[in-house]
């Protein structure tokens, strides 16, 4: 998973980074709220861990902006110094999903992050995933379309699974790079686009099959569900 950490405390970030890296997550550090908010206009993350007092903004203000201006349902975990009941109420009312006290103990942090990810992305914890005619079997890395197995290379399968697991969600190019290749470098841009093109063809991702893979210029890709029946209505134009 791709996790953003917003905190100006070096020791705090090191502790969080060690714990998240041990869980095989990618950590991206930010020390100012405005820098994170600016990044979120062109990048996507799976979870945010943030502190309360920041150099330029307060934690609840950051959360309120993410929920309001950015209209994001990104799961958010506050890590604050000895939070009182009033702080917890303010943070949760701003839109945070959970709260814990600083310093972040590795065991508790791991448990809270895992719980948030399970609630936010339940499809990523199943042994069989069904999306219309597309059936994924993660343990055996098999994908069948209408009962017929599709031959995919490792990266193609990983990319297809990740897109379906995040159905309807805009995923930045950096996010896709890290999720599939384990890197966020721009050198992989052509490889990503090539894999996307192959998946469109191999999986026949078109409205008639209920799904459409969209390129969002300058940002990334989004796999959307399409009501194929609606395309048959008078006056509705669609690709079949």
CATH of the domain at 110: 3.40.50.2300
111 and 217, same structural domain? no
Whether this model's pTM surpasses 0.85: no
Task: For residue 208, give the 3-state DSSP assignment.
Answer: helix
Would 239 be classed as within a structural domain? no
The tens place of each residue's pLDDT in the chain, 240 residues long, gives: 999 999 988 888 889 999 999 998 999 999 999 999 999 999 999 999 999 889 999 999 999 999 999 999 999 999 988 777 888 889 999 999 999 988 888 999 999 999 999 888 876 667 789 999 999 998 889 999 999 999 999 999 999 999 999 999 999 999 999 888 876 555 456 789 999 999 999 999 988 889 999 999 889 999 999 875 544 444 433 333
**Co-location of 149 and 225 in the same domain:** yes
Boundary (domain end) residue, out of 84, 101, 120 = 120
Domain limits for position 183: 125-232
Say if residue 49 is in the same domain as residue 31.
Answer: yes
Residue 237 resides in a domain: no
In this structure, the chain runs to a length of 240
H helices, E strands: number in the chain = 8, 12
Q: Are 113 and 105 in contact (CB under 8 A)?
A: no
With the C-alpha atoms ordered 82, 86, 87, 89, is the resulting torsion angle positive or negative? Answer: positive
In a domain, 238, yes or no: no
24 and 83 belong to one structural domain: yes
In total, how many domains does the chain have?
2
Instruction: Calculate the alpha carbon distances from 105 to 12, 51, 97, 185 in Å.
Output: 10, 14, 18, 31
Pair (220, 154) in one structural domain: yes
Q: Are residues 148 and 56 in the same domain?
A: no
């Amino acid at each position: 998973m791709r996790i953003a950490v917003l905190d100006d405390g070096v020791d705090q970030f090191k502790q969080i980074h060690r714990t998240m890296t041990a869980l095989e997550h990618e950590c991206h550090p930010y020390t100012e709220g405005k820098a994170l908010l600016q990044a979120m206009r062109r990048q996507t993350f799976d979870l945010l861990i943030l502190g309360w007092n920041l150099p330029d903004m307060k934690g609840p203000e950051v959360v309120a902006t993410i929920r309001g201006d950015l209209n994001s349902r990104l799961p958010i975990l506050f890590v604050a110094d000895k939070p009182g009941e009033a702080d917890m109420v303010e943070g949760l009312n701003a839109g945070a999903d959970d709260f814990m006290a600083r310093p972040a103990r590795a065991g508790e942090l791991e448990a809270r992050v895992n719980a948030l990810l399970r609630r936010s992305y339940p499809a990523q914890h199943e042994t069989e995933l069904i999306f219309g005619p597309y059936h994924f079997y993660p343990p055996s890395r098999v994908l069948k379309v209408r009962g017929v197995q599709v031959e995919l290379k490792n990266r193609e399968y990983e990319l297809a699974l990740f897109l379906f697991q995040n159905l309807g969600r805009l995923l930045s190019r950096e996010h896709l790079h890290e999720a599939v290749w384990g890197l966020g470098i721009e050198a992989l841009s052509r490889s990503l686009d090539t894999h996307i093109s192959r998946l469109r063809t191999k999986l026949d991702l078109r409205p008639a099959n209920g799904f459409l893979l969209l390129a969002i210029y300058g940002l990334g890709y989004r796999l959307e569900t399409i009501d194929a029946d609606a395309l048959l209505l008078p006056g509705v134009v669609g690709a079949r």
